[in-house]
Structure 1
Amino acid sequence: MKKVNIGGVPEHFNLAWYLTLKNGEYKAEGINLRWHDYYGGTGAMCKALRSEEIDIAVILTEGIIKDIIAGNPSKIVQTFVQSPLIWGIHVAHNSKFKTIEDIKGTRAAISRYGSGSHLMAYINAEQNDWNLDTDLKFEVIKNLDGAIEGLTNGNADYFMWEKFTTKPLVDNETFRRIDNCPSPWPCFVIAVREEFIKSNKDDLRTILNIINKTTSDFKSIPSIDRTIANRYNQKLEDVQEWLSLTEWSQDLIDKETIENVQKKLIKLDIIPRKANYSELTAII
């Protein structure tokens, strides 16, 4: 049986993978797909792809594009979630900061450099006409638990993370959300190590076919809203809102989207050059 390692964040976006694994759908096709949770997010998964710890990553679009250009020998093979990610901008519940203007020039908690929380801090700064050289400061906190500690203890001032994942922390008054910042493109893609693509194309096609069947019908799974609410400690109404806003994809990311992401990353001085579409993607 072929062993394949895949990584992703332990969030509701990836429940479809859990369901297909639980149902034994990959094993039925001779594939031992092993899921690995990455609490550190995109930066941690980029590192894991480079070190061959995982073969496949369900990863933020902007993060993997940046890392492929920086030398990560991987390719995007598909968009996974077509809709934008809604990043909540959070401060400690008792923080003196009330508005976006208040956090200008303060310390953003980021999981690591090159992570989504790092890159989206630039997007938020640009949208609010901040000076990218003087108004952005960073404190590395590794993961969500690190952000809780960092904001509570005053080691960092604000933290950007997916709105619905952090909603329980807003509800229990650990965080206070002062605004939202949607990503300007489809949020999650599936990236695969180039070496794995070359030697395991049939297995990769099988894996994609299985997950795509589930995401195509995901919203019509009976009581899926209650399943998500229970599994991820979410309020039912929050899950229902999230489902109404989220669209999965079964297609390769298009050239226009790749171009738009790179234009933005170039403008923000996050990448040194634009890559060709073929450098970043692979047709399976």
Structure 2
Amino acid sequence: MINVNIGGVPEHFNLPWYLTLKEGIYKQENINLRWHDYHEGTGAMCSALRHGDIDMAVILTEGIIKDIIAGNPSKIVQTFVQSPLVWGVHVAHHSKYKHINDLKKSKAAISRYGSGSHLMAYINAENHHWNLETDLNFKVINNLNGAIEGLTSGDADYFLWEKFTTKPLVDRGVFRRIGNCPSPWPCFVIAVREDFISKHDLVLKRILHIINTNTVGFKNIPHIAETISERYEQQLNDVKSWLDITEWSQNQIDEAAVFNVQKKLHALNIIPKIIPYSELTHPM
């Protein structure tokens, strides 16, 4: 049996992995797939891929593209979630800030540099025509709990995170959401270390076949909305709204989407150059 380590955020997007692991499907294929939660998000997973702590990651598209260009020895093997990620722009419930433009020159909480919360702060700033050199400041808070502490204490002023994940915090009066910032591309991809691809191509194909078989019919699983609501402590109506706008994918990310991500990141001076599609992806 081959051991395979995969990382992802412990959020509702990744429930298909939990379900297939719970059912023992990978072990039936002689694969010991071990899931690792990364509460810190994409930046932490990029580091884990670089250091060989994990072989695969379910990771934000813009984050892994940036890190591959920066030398991460991995490739995107397919899109996992085709729909955009809707990032909520959050402030502390007691914050003086009421509108997104009030946040100009204030301090954004980010899980780490190179993370989705970091990159999307630039997208949000550009959407509102801020000066990217002078209107953005950052405070590293590591994870969602760090954001709660940072915004509540005033060490940081606002925080971008997936809006349905943070909705319970908004409902409890910890955060206020003052706006949204959708990612302009498919939100999650599956990235795999190049050395794993070269050594275990057939194993990777089996893993992708299993997860893709699950995601094709994921929304039709009986009582899936109720399962998500209970597991992730979210209101049932919120879960149903999220399911309505979320589409999983079983295909490789297309070249136009990859170019769009690079074009945006390059315009924001987040990446130094645009590289060919073939250097970022691996055909399965």
Q: TM-score, normalised by structure 2?
A: 1.00
CA distance in 1, matches of 2:101, 2:120: 16
Instruction: Specify the SS of the correspondent of 2:5.
Output: strand
CA distance in 1, matches of 2:101, 2:274: 32
Counterpart residue number, 1:169: 169
Map of 1:1-284 to 2, 5 A cutoff?
1-284=1-284
CA distance in 2, matches of 1:176, 1:104: 17
The alpha-carbon deviation at position 122 of structure 1 amounts to: 0.2
Instruction: Specify the SS of the correspondent of 1:252.
Output: coil
CA distance in 2, matches of 1:83, 1:25: 26
CA distance in 2, matches of 1:3, 1:144: 30
The alpha-carbon deviation at position 81 of structure 1 amounts to: 0.1
CA distance in 2, matches of 1:76, 1:66: 12
Counterpart amino acid of 2:219?
A: K
Counterpart amino acid of 1:212?
A: N
Give RMSD over aligned pairs: 0.3
CA distance in 2, matches of 1:217, 1:113: 36
Counterpart amino acid of 2:52?
A: E
Instruction: Specify the SS of the correspondent of 1:26.
Output: helix
The alpha-carbon deviation at position 275 of structure 1 amounts to: 1.1
The alpha-carbon deviation at position 169 of structure 1 amounts to: 0.2
CA offsets 1:201-246 (integer angstroms, 9 cap, x no match): 0000000000000000000000000000000000000000000000
Instruction: Specify the SS of the correspondent of 1:33.
Output: strand
CA offsets 1:142-173 (integer angstroms, 9 cap, x no match): 00000000000000000000000000000000
The alpha-carbon deviation at position 198 of structure 1 amounts to: 0.2
Q: TM-score, normalised by structure 1?
A: 1.00
Aligned residues, how many?
Answer: 284
CA distance in 1, matches of 2:189, 2:261: 13
Counterpart amino acid of 2:207?
A: I
CA offsets 1:44-101 (integer angstroms, 9 cap, x no match): 0000000000000000000000000000000000000000000000000000000011
Instruction: Specify the SS of the correspondent of 2:131.
Output: coil
Runs ≥4 residues deviating over 6 A: none
Instruction: Specify the SS of the correspondent of 1:84.
Output: coil
Instruction: Specify the SS of the correspondent of 1:89.
Output: strand
Counterpart amino acid of 2:55?
A: D
Counterpart amino acid of 2:67?
A: D
CA distance in 1, matches of 2:22, 2:136: 43
Counterpart amino acid of 2:212?
A: N
CA distance in 2, matches of 1:132, 1:169: 29
CA distance in 2, matches of 1:283, 1:63: 20
Identity, in percent, stands at 71
Note the residue ranges of structure 2 that are not aligned, 5 or more in a row.
none
Instruction: Specify the SS of the correspondent of 1:282.
Output: coil
CA distance in 2, matches of 1:46, 1:27: 26
CA offsets 1:250-271 (integer angstroms, 9 cap, x no match): 0000110000000000000000
The alpha-carbon deviation at position 41 of structure 1 amounts to: 0.1
